[in-house]
Structure 1
Amino acid sequence: MTTLANTSVTIDPIRWPDVAYIPGSVKAVAAQRVAQSLFFRAVQRLPIRVHLPAGRVIGGAAHDPHAPEMTVHQLRPFVRRIGDSGLIGFGESYLAGEWDSSRLADLIAAFAQGVDDLVPAPLKRLRSAYLRRQPTATRPSTENSRSNVEKHYDLSNDMFATFLDESMTYSSALFDSPDEGPADPAELVAAQHAKIDRMLDEGRVGPDTRVLEIGTGWGELALRAAQRGARVHSITLSREQLAWARAKAQAAGVGDRVDIELADYRTVRGTYDAVLSVEMIEAVGLEFLPTYFSTLRSALRPGGRAVVQAITMPHHRMLETRNTYTWIHKYIFPGGALPSLEILESTAVASGLRTGSTLSMGQSYARTLDAWAERFAAATDRLESLGFDEVFRRMWVFYLRYSEGGFRSGYLDVHQLTYDAP
């Protein structure tokens, strides 16, 4: 029997049914005890502290007051959700308020560092049969890609403005000192411009350069390219970003050199001196990587150059999880997939491109995400006035800190990758 979650978090059961209700299927009930055993086994091997109801503390660092901690308020629904849907349930339990952490990114980093050893090998082999596969409706085909993008990027420009810097750049910055503490607003803007300027330098963007940008964002890269004298054709599938970026270019006085179009990358025509794409490849899907790189190749004139900023994961983890339906798919990025460096290189070469320089920026992304999460957490009143309820706010805190933990642990990385057309 399915029961309503009973926590201090206010949950709208119509908007958030899978958060509001504790799974009550035969599968969930049967898996509850196994999930609890696996969870206890896992945390005993990790450098964390887990506070359980009734005051019990477990974990590989149970007696270390400086270790990342997790407080489980309601154990039974927490482990039942995990038993029912794995890491999706882990995230939904956080959204429901069944557990918390004062150092969420550090906690996630600890889990990520031990991820390969958390589940016994026999159970790993059952993963594909037990966990859900990605729904066909979010497969990033030409028919579905716009709706996938709209579900994330068209939430609200005002919402994104609560945590992004004044340039509205929604991708990893490039810090000189990524291991330093929280970045102030001026540092974040400077680091975002450093990232963009490096891409423009790698792409040899200057006066009269013809530039194609795949994935406009809110227009800062196109603006800075145009300020160098380039002519920019930028494409996006987000109507919200389209309107913002067009107005931004006009206000900066470069509207005559920036053409922004609502279009899919598969429809690109013409040739360019440079093709730039910042953290858009994650929405392409692994099966469409050959199409994406063929688009880059056909869009470049002979001797042209492409620069791609891509979030990556280790190759063996990509292979293990490539068909898995995750919490990120369900709540943040439908249809997305993170590639490995190996698959990016092999696909680029197969398309006729030559691989060039590679810059790893993972710790810069961790610092970027920390700055975003701090700003987002401080914007509760503004977010509430925009209509985003408590579950949504917990969802985005979890997403930002979950991602930060992935980069801090090295489970995730982000690279600027340069490719040349013969």
Structure 2
Amino acid sequence: MTLTPPPPAVRAVRVPADPVRWPDVARLPRASAARTVVARLLVERALAQLPLRIRTGRDTPLAGARTGDDGPAPTLTLHDPDAFHRRIGAAGLIGFGESYMAGEWDADDLVGVLTVLARHVDDLVPAPLHRFRGAWARRRPGTDRNTPDGARRNIHRHYDLSNELFALFLDPGLSYSSAVFDPLPHAPGVLPDEVLTAAQHRKIDRLLDLAETGPGVELLEIGTGWGELAIRAAARGARVRTVTLSEEQLALARLRAARAGVADRVTVELLDYRHVRGRYDAVVSVEMIEAVGAAFWPDYFTALRRLLAPGGRVALQAITMPHERMLATARTHTWISKYVFPGGLIPSPEAIARESAAAGLRITHDTGYGDHYAETLHQWRARFRHQEAAVTALGFDSVFRRMWDFYLAYSEAGFRSRYLDVRQLRLTAADTEAAR
């Protein structure tokens, strides 16, 4: 497939980018002509085989497949093909995301385009060229490692952006993890707050049930969020200790616990999971393992086992990806790790099973519900887009808004394509189970 370049009038970067805040978006990367040509050839070859429609310029005809398995194919519009291919030639998929942030391409259905790409991620580059992956894929910066100091920096970069920002698109309880819907919605549109809140409470209650949380239970939560799980656990009569590395979340979680009348049963601390001491009847950790980093998964699961009292149980919620994709991602600096979750890595089910077993834990319950995360992300993105003026008023510029929109759409596409899943697990001490 040959793409006709657009007229010169559309070649400029469309989104103004602060060169200090967004250096790699504000300027085009240095890339050799050869790399750009190779990138163009590979991209054109890949797109020609996918159920996507490609538009180049305002008046050029569509190229590529017109329909897909689910009906009309979504359209990807290249406003500046030269810049698009140059960025991909220089930085691979990081460049793909940065090109969107710069406004060099758009889509009529961003989730649809990204879902198609996620479904065919292993076919985008011809198999004989896989061994040259290192020419485009960069290694993760050593500064992103989740040492105790590094983990606090990484958490700060995402979760301390602004409590007000997260409040614009999350449910009123500020739950920032997958909800569980009943039933799962299939119609487009924004659900009422009370429906999303009920779905988030359903998720929390399932985890608390797995942890057998009730009156008198000593519960530890690793990863406070904004305190909704701790508040609901305390309402069941549990005494809750919850730890976080986010100063913004710490302050608001304490305030929310006080407003809910459970401050006497909820203790919120700024503390790394590796430094927690004590023994607990139950430990709950919701979508926190993704921020740990593969090098520190042994520390994480060892901490879970060490903190369990005899007969205790762990309730864990985790996003997962296929094992081979996890291994490839672990070696690579990705757009997500550069702009959204520095130091993060989504584990595979195999990695969770291996690391937990090595720490002396046994998985006794495992349920997946990735379709519910896709819907959760759909709701967050719809709310975020609806609140564009309010996001701007908080001081977030157009590049940030496109970055966040891309992040939410990219994540939803991961679940729509079944590239990602989310699981709720119950773990107990292996020696306890053997004694029964």
TM-score normalised by structure 2 residue count: 0.93
Secondary structure of the structure 2 residue equivalent to 1:151: helix
Amino acid at match of 1:366: A
Q: Which of 102, 107, 124 does residue 101 from structure 1 map onto?
A: 107
| Greater shift in the superposed pair: 127-136 or 300-309 | 127-136
Q: Which of 371, 374, 384 does residue 366 from structure 1 map onto?
A: 374
Uncovered stretches (5+) of structure 1, i.e. residues with no partner: none
Aligned residues: 416
Q: Which residue of 2 aligns with 1:70?
A: 76
1:61 aligns with 2:66: yes
5 Å-filtered alignment, 1:165-184, equals 165-178=171-184, 180-181=186-187, 182=189, 183-184=191-192
Q: Which residue of 2 aligns with 1:409?
A: 417
Uncovered stretches (5+) of structure 2, i.e. residues with no partner: 1-10
TM-score normalised by structure 1 residue count: 0.96
Aligned 8 A contact 2:329 2:345 in 1? no
1:291 aligns with 2:299: yes
Q: Which residue of 2 aligns with 1:50?
A: 54
Amino acid at match of 2:15: V
Deviation at 1:354, TM superposition (A): 1.2
Q: Which of 299, 309, 317 does residue 325 from structure 2 map onto?
A: 317
Deviation at 1:174, TM superposition (A): 0.7
Deviation at 1:360, TM superposition (A): 0.7
Secondary structure of the structure 2 residue equivalent to 1:12: coil
Amino acid at match of 1:233: R
Distance 2:330 2:99 in 1: 24
Distance 1:56 1:317 in 2: 35
Q: Which of 220, 226, 243 does residue 234 from structure 2 map onto?
A: 226
Q: Which residue of 2 aligns with 1:83?
A: 89
Q: Which residue of 2 aligns with 1:157?
A: 163
Aligned 8 A contact 2:65 2:73 in 1? no
Aligned 8 A contact 1:213 1:233 in 2? yes
5 Å-filtered alignment, 1:192-271, equals 192-271=200-279
Aligned 8 A contact 1:43 1:58 in 2? no
Deviations 1:151-199 (A, max 9, x none): 0000000111111110001011011233522433221111000000000
Q: Which residue of 2 aligns with 1:378?
A: 386
Distance 1:193 1:324 in 2: 35
Secondary structure of the structure 1 residue equivalent to 2:169: coil
Secondary structure of the structure 1 residue equivalent to 2:201: helix
| Greater shift in the superposed pair: 183-192 or 239-248 | 183-192
1:131 aligns with 2:111: no
Aligned 8 A contact 2:78 2:106 in 1? yes
Q: Which of 336, 345, 351 does residue 337 from structure 1 map onto?
A: 345
Q: In structure 2, do the counterparts of structure 1 residues 115 and 179 end up closer, same or farther at CA, with 3 Å as the change threshold?
A: farther
Distance 1:44 1:359 in 2: 37
Deviations 1:217-260 (A, max 9, x none): 00000000000000000000000000000000011110000001
Secondary structure of the structure 1 residue equivalent to 2:148: coil
Distance 2:30 2:253 in 1: 46
Deviation at 1:44, TM superposition (A): 1.6
Amino acid at match of 2:62: V
Distance 1:65 1:80 in 2: 32
Secondary structure of the structure 2 residue equivalent to 1:162: helix
Deviation at 1:365, TM superposition (A): 0.5
| Greater shift in the superposed pair: 123-132 or 138-147 | 123-132
Amino acid at match of 1:108: L
Q: Which of 267, 277, 285 does residue 285 from structure 2 map onto?
A: 277
Secondary structure of the structure 2 residue equivalent to 1:125: helix
Amino acid at match of 1:32: T
| Greater shift in the superposed pair: 353-362 or 270-279 | 353-362
1:36 aligns with 2:61: no
Aligned 8 A contact 2:16 2:26 in 1? no
| Greater shift in the superposed pair: 59-68 or 291-300 | 59-68
Distance 1:244 1:84 in 2: 41
Amino acid at match of 1:280: M
State the percentage of identical aligned residues. 54
Deviation at 1:420, TM superposition (A): 1.0
Secondary structure of the structure 1 residue equivalent to 2:19: coil
Deviations 1:46-91 (A, max 9, x none): 1111112351322233799821111111100001101100110000
Distance 2:78 2:363 in 1: 47
RMSD, matched Cα: 1.4
Distance 2:289 2:253 in 1: 20
Deviations 1:127-157 (A, max 9, x none): 1343210001111111210000000000000
Aligned 8 A contact 1:165 1:188 in 2? yes
Aligned 8 A contact 2:90 2:136 in 1? no
| Greater shift in the superposed pair: 44-53 or 140-149 | 44-53
